[in-house]
Structure 1
Amino acid sequence: MCGRYGRTSAAEAFAKVIDAMVSPKLDDTPGYNRPPGTFQAVGLVRPDTGETTIGPAWWGFIPNWASDDKLSPINARSETAADKKLFARAFARQRCLIALDYWIEWQRGEGGKQPYAIRPAGGHPFFLAGIWSKAAKLPEDHAAAGHVTFAILTGQPNPDIAHIHNRQPQVLTAKAARAWIDPDGEHLDDILTDGQHTNYESWPIAKRAGKSSKNDKGVLTA
């Protein structure tokens, strides 16, 4: 599961990793507590030009045939995405990367749910594996109408963060990130399995992170 994350590094830092151009339409303002149902920085290879870009995409996967957002999952299980009718085409042909500096996960305990910030050890900006679809048939008054939408792929947790949650996003190394969005990419399951970071660091953060309106740096301290 991944339902909130932070991206505070400039988009250019991510663009250098995958040799991408940054779209002038991207809002590059730092965000410490980014929720679904908003535009976020996503890297992909444009089908029309073949260019690799980092631009805005709506968090919540909306199929190109959907006329509403009732079906807009924010995550997709990597173990089954290739076989599910909703995700299969995107998994095969429309893969993307989500740019971030950490994600937020909630650990259930006797005292309630405690949020943690999690990132690969070393703290460098990194990417999550995702899939995308263009919301081609949404009503024009919907914010995502005509835009790229995405879901984050999730998998089994790394041993050092399994105590926090039983799922984690698929966190890719720089090499794996470039391979993931290659239109001619093969052995996709192997990329997700072998291309993940293997060491993570985590720390408890403020419980007010549960409110998406709390998007300031203070959410990172307990």
Structure 2
Amino acid sequence: MCGRYGRYTPGERFAGIIKGTVSTRFTDDVRYNRPPGTFQLIGLLNPDDGATTLGPAWWSFIPSWATDTKLSPVNARSETAAEKKMFAKAFAHQRCVVAADYWIEWSRDGDENQPYAIRPADGEPFFFAGIWSKASRLPDDHSAAGEVTFAILTAEPNADIAHIHKRQPQALTNAGARSWIDPDMDAGQAQEILQDERHSSYESWPIAPRVGSPKNDDPAILDRVELG
């Protein structure tokens, strides 16, 4: 799964990767500990004008028909998303990419949870594969009312990080990110992108448990710790 990640690279750098522009609604920010239920930077092809745009979206997928957030997953399994009623439309036509520099995952060892920072082995900024939906029917007093919302797609982990967790987010290559947001690509082609254009190697290192609280949001959370 992916329940926490970080992004410190400026939005314009990500815009260059997918040859898009940053929305005027987006206020760039540096955060090292990004939790669900917050606005984050994603890229998609705008259905109104076909332009590749990066802008703020709510991290928790809220279907357009939902009147509350009882169903608002932060992740979706890429193997089955095309078949699930909640995700099928988005997987087919509303794909997005989520800007990131790394993600955080917890490995369970007995009664202890050890967090790790993980990123592609090249250390460069990248995108997660995601799906989006507009929260059209939420009450007006909800922060995500009328906004684009998203979930990050997950899959079986790569061999070099399988010891940490049984799932990982779909971290796309630059070419894969550009292809993924093409709404004319069918579900079968989309699955091929997830298989052929996911990063093939990763680096990871243990970090301090303080990352468990999103209030701890500073570069020091990425410091490597020694395991006993």
TM-score, length basis structure 2: 0.96
Task: Answer yes or no: is 1:131 the counterpart of 2:131.
Answer: yes
Asked if the contact 1:3–1:104 (Cα under 8 Å) also holds between the matched residues in 2, the reply is: yes
- Which residue matches 2:29? 29
Residue 27 of structure 1 and its aligned partner are, at CA, apart by 2.5
Residue 110 of structure 1 and its aligned partner are, at CA, apart by 3.5
- Which residue matches 2:206? 204
> Which whole-Å deviations, capped at 9, do the CAs of 1:75-130 have from their partners, x for residues lacking one?
00000000000000000010000000000000111461111000001110000000
- Which residue matches 2:43? 43
- Which residue matches 1:121? 121
Q: What's the secondary structure of 1:29's corresponding residue?
A: coil
Task: Answer yes or no: is 1:188 the counterpart of 2:190.
Answer: yes
Q: What's the secondary structure of 1:25's corresponding residue?
A: coil
Q: What's the secondary structure of 2:32's corresponding residue?
A: strand
> 2 CA distance for matches of 1:3 and 1:72?
13
- Which residue matches 2:222? 220
Q: What's the secondary structure of 1:183's corresponding residue?
A: coil
Asked if the contact 1:176–1:195 (Cα under 8 Å) also holds between the matched residues in 2, the reply is: yes
Task: Answer yes or no: is 1:151 the counterpart of 2:142.
Answer: no
Paired residue type of 1:21: T
- Which residue matches 1:169? 169
Paired residue type of 1:191: I
Runs of 4+ residues deviating >3 angstroms: none
Q: What's the secondary structure of 2:105's corresponding residue?
A: strand
> 2 CA distance for matches of 1:185 and 1:30?
33
Q: What's the secondary structure of 2:83's corresponding residue?
A: coil
> 2 CA distance for matches of 1:84 and 1:122?
34
- Which residue matches 2:112? 112
Q: Gapped runs of 5+ residues in structure 1? A: none
> Which whole-Å deviations, capped at 9, do the CAs of 1:39-68 have from their partners, x for residues lacking one?
000000010110111100000000001111
> 2 CA distance for matches of 1:183 and 1:73?
22
Over the matched positions of the two proteins, sequence identity in percent amounts to 63
> 1 CA distance for matches of 2:42 and 2:67?
23
Q: What's the secondary structure of 2:43's corresponding residue?
A: strand
Q: What's the secondary structure of 2:81's corresponding residue?
A: coil
Task: Answer yes or no: is 1:54 the counterpart of 2:54.
Answer: yes
Paired residue type of 1:208: R
* C-alpha RMSD of the superposition: 0.8
Q: What's the secondary structure of 1:160's corresponding residue?
A: helix
> 1 CA distance for matches of 2:110 and 2:131?
36
> 2 CA distance for matches of 1:36 and 1:110?
26
> 1 CA distance for matches of 2:31 and 2:38?
11
Asked if the contact 1:107–1:116 (Cα under 8 Å) also holds between the matched residues in 2, the reply is: yes
Q: Gapped runs of 5+ residues in structure 2? A: none
Task: Please give the residue correspondences for 1:13-24 in structure 2 after superposition, counting only pairs within 5 Å.
Answer: 13-24=13-24
